[in-house]
Structure 1
Amino acid sequence: MPSKKDKGKAKATDAPPKEITQKDLEKLAKDVDKIASKVQHRQEKALAKGEPIKEKKIDPAKEAEMRKKIEAMVQALSNMEQTGAIKASGRKDMGDHKFWNTQPVLQHGEDVTEEGPIDPAVPRDQVQQEPYPLPKEFEWCEVDIQDDKQIIELYQLLTMNYVEDDDAQFRFDYSAPFLKWALQPPGWRKSWHVGVRVSSNKKLVAFISGIPAAVRSHKTLHHLTEINYLCVHKKLRSKRLAPVLIKEITRRSHLEGVFQAAYTGGIVLPTPIATCRYYHRSLNPKKLVECNFSRVPRNSTISAMVKKFKVAEQPSTPGLREMKPEDATQVRELLNKYLSKFDVAPVFETDDDVRHWLAPTPEVVWSYVVEDTKTHKITDFFSFYTLPSSVIGNDKHKSLNAAYMFYYAIDIPEKEAADSYDTARYTKQRLTELMRDALVLAKQADFDVFNALNLMDNSMFIDDLKFGPGDGYLNYYLYNWKCRDIKPHKVGLVML
């Protein structure tokens, strides 16, 4: 959805403070990142064509000068906020990074000369044993995901108060089956499903979750906590509960001997290790237009859009079938091998991990394999999950059914694997064939749109399969770990 035209800035001397929104800050970030975006686009084009990436050498002096200018711009913005020349609004309640400046994370502009932890691990008896204090009207709780009543409470909190777009037209609508799937992988801990209730009536008003995960960054394997679903009731955003929730889930992770974490967000905090962009492929263009998710292009019509985004009636890949739980071993081996080429990616350590995350689950995840009919070897795999959005204030539609690209892997034949150009060419061709079938299967499952980030090898097929760039960006973060910057096509980690 195109952003609205920005208004001119008012001078602090003759006008009241200008209200800066999240859109304004995102525009500033986009302006600063123009050069990086051009480089990324050039690399993605090379990948799509199966050509080697040519890195342009940057003059260290010019790079240092550019960094200083960016840091000065950020500092100037901060100073203007503090003096009242401008006022920031619409951002997550993180204290304008005052909180993050106290945490073991990379700070803006900090160079990584050597990867490793920022703070050392400590013995359990040196970790704070008591929960962090809350304002007197609130109390901590553990949300029992296995209790139907409590999962409904969590669903209601997220449905009404979690992520929505800048124009307040769409809001993620997590189902109870989805939340149970997302929050109960092998090794999950109830103590990492942290809630805050009002002491007087026990109403659930805030939540944060952690789940155990094995994630590799470059050559280091981390057994860390994946943080997700940080949510505070809209009426309580001024209570500064978000930083306390983060500190509490961190404390509980430390008690289990876990000192690193991974998390994502649409906003820029100190400091992303990677930033990926969302792409959308229309499956039901008429509904998307009626929901104001898409617009009819100039000099086009709804009929033309329907024709453009029409998909085949049936998949075309020989040997394609739905994944079965007994496929877990082959899928795990195939997936881990494929993901090994990315700079940050999960490691599926057991078949139980694969069965939980990737075996087809009604209302949650769709997974398919390609099986060689002669050898019964699984040569390819792909999956997608469902995450609908509530459509706010629309008389005709209440929900948008969105599929999200999850994990996939292909086996590169030996003759193509011998040469990097042949490998890229085969990968592009094979993934395009498989993802074309994924669109067919998603359409059969009544999805309205298919979403994907420009991570992994997605850039090889998004243009050919008529994905369009969206306004959304997703930033990846590692807590308590110095990590070199990672380009989108080197990101192999998909977080819900």
Structure 2
Amino acid sequence: MANENQEYRKDKNDIPPDKKMDKIHTPEGLDPETLNNIMSALKIHGDSGDGPKLTNSRLIELYSQKEKGKPVKNDHKFWDTQPVTKFAESVKSEEIGPIDANNDVENVLKTPYPLPDGFEWVVIDIFSESDRERVYTLLNENYVEDDDNLFRFDYKAEFLIWALTPPGYNKDWHIGVMVSSSKRLVGFITGIPVTLSIMDKKMDIAEINFLCVHKKLRSKRLAPVLIKEITRRINLCGIWQAVYTAGILIPKPIAKCRYWHRPLDIKKLVDARFSGIGDRMTMSRAIRLYRVPDVSEDLRPMENKDVCGVHKLLKTHLEKYKIHQVFTPEEVKHIFLPKDEIIYTYVKSIKGSVTDIISFYSLPSSVIKNPKLSTIRAAYSYYNISTTIPYKKLIENAISLAKSNNFDVYNALDLMENKPILEVSINIHFNTVLGSKIW
């Protein structure tokens, strides 16, 4: 599903020069590539999400400490107490399995973890309009935003229903913390069941998302309690593994991907300060550069009759990868059938057989400090599979389809077959952005 528990991404061209990676220098002459990987080199990886993020300036400070022989503080006290692989550990493929193989539901705590006085647990009914409104308000005011506080993800009610209610979902895995007196929601975390294939081993796990704590309460250390409580509830169902993403490094990542984006309405993105065009580029030249050509490869919106064909093609394609989600036909129907303003899926079929797939989902961002613009409509690349259309041409079609659906920007991660297309295909005009998404 669309897991966006991450640091906000913005075009690096719009970051002030003194904050750009290629403008940062240290006494040791730290280059951009080294800076990108410095967190791993230092073995410091942030915390559970309650504390301050490790900014570039803080990384440089820590790097300087290391060069001078001073100890570098390890800031993941919470994760060091959790059943996760530690940074110093390495795992061989034949060792894949539970970190603790002696799990027993009988040993799982049967009552919720205690909260500070004045707070209480609540199970969120995502189909309840009042509950959805509380979740929307919390996320809209406190969830992922960029460092300059200019943009924030804007999760719509319909999107939350789509993301949190796949076949087999468990309502008890949608939990929050509210103020007892006012019933105001101040913390939230969710889990959904998924089947994952890891090195040809299928595992029933949970996918964790939407961890959010009200800004004024982050010193209360609610995030670790939310994580422990969702873990307890999932363990009670006999599931002992989970996957989640973050914009910071925490013990211990299994994958890291960089975001790229392709402007579709460059003028709007620049006016919103989402993107920049550089000192030597005029707006008229930028508009010509980022013009989206019309392309067509006999692609049409996915229909109910395509569910089996899409499922079959997904299964065959994903089996090439060491780690991938295993979808059921019911999940394919729920996740991929087009829903306006949520998920867009297009297929090419030959004689009734699905041969190619394009999909992207909608995740707009609120523009916080701009009186003229309120929203940036972003399309996020999802699953794209080509068997008859060259992959580069498939992505060109995806960009064109996103533009025709009035999106302002098309975002993609450099995973699966995307990386060479994003890095090499100059005429598609993708820009890289600072930061990565980490699993």
Interval containing the TM-score (normalised by the shorter chain):
0.7 to 0.9
Match of 2:85 in 1: 106
In structure 1, C-alpha distance between the alignment counterparts of 2:181 and 2:33, rounded to whole Å:
43
Which residue of the other structure, out of 357, 379, 385, is the alignment partner of 1:381?
357
- In structure 1, the residue matched to 2:433 is 470
Is 1:360 matched up with 2:360? no
Say if 1:433 and 1:33 are closer, same or farther in 2 by CA, change over 3 A.
Answer: farther
Q: Give the direction of change, closer, same or farther, for the CA distance of 1:236–1:27 in structure 2 (3 Å limit).
A: farther
Paired with 2:139 and 2:430, the residues of 1 have a C-alpha distance of: 28
How far apart are the structure 1 equivalents of 2:86 and 2:140? 32
Alignment of 1:104-253 (within 5 A): 104-113=83-92, 114-253=95-234
Change (3 A) 1:356 1:121: farther
Q: Distance in 1 between matches of 2:141 and 2:402?
A: 27
Q: Is the 8 A contact 2:174 2:190 kept in 1?
A: yes
Distance 1:263-1:3 versus aligned 2 partners, 3 A rule: farther
Deviation track 1:40-67 (CA, whole Å, cap 9, x = no partner) reads xxxxxxxxxxxxxxxxxxxxxxxxxxxx
TM-align CA RMSD: 2.5
Cα displacement (A) at 1:283: 0.2
Amino acid at match of 2:72: L
Conservation of the 8 A alpha-carbon contact between 1:208 and 1:229: yes
CA distance 1:4–1:137, shift in 2 (3 Å): farther
C-alpha offsets along residues 308-329 of structure 1, whole Å, 9 cap, x if unaligned? Answer: 111124x320x31110012111
Deviation at 1:31, TM superposition (A): 4.8
2:349 maps to 371
- Residue aligning to 2:367: 391
Residue-by-residue CA offset, 1:254-294 (whole Å, 9 max, x unaligned) = 00000000000001111111110000000000011111111
Q: Secondary structure at the match of 2:218?
A: helix
Q: What is the alpha-carbon distance in structure 1 between the residues aligned to residue 112 and residue 208 of structure 2?
A: 18
1:345 corresponds to which of 311, 318, 324: 324
TM-score, with normalisation over the residues of structure 2? 0.84
Does structure 2 retain, via aligned residues, the 8 Å contact 1:32–1:70?
A: no
Shift of 1:28: 7.4
Task: Tell me, yes or no, if structure 1 residue 32 matches structure 2 residue 31.
Answer: no
Structure 1 residue 166: deviation in Å?
Answer: 1.3
Distance 2:370 2:313 in 1: 44
Gaps of 5+ in 2: 1-11, 42-62
Larger Rg belongs to: 1
Matched, 1:452 2:433: no
Distance 1:327 1:127, change over 3 A: same
For residues 288-367 of structure 1, the aligned pairs below 5 Å read 288-313=269-294, 315-317=295-297, 319-348=298-327, 350-367=328-345
Is 1:5 the counterpart of 2:14 in the alignment? Answer: no
Structure 1 residue 405 corresponds to structure 2 residue 411 = no
Separation in 2, partners of 1:101, 1:329: 44
Query: What letter matches 1:225 in structure 2?
Result: A
d(CA) in 2 for partners of 1:383, 1:345 = 17
| Cα 1:4/1:78, change in 2 over 3 Å | farther
Per-residue deviation, 1:121: 4.8
Indicate the SS of the match to 1:188: coil
TM-score, length-scaled by structure 1? 0.75
For structure 1, list consecutive stretches of 5 or more residues without a partner in the other structure: 11-23, 36-68, 80-95, 413-428, 477-496
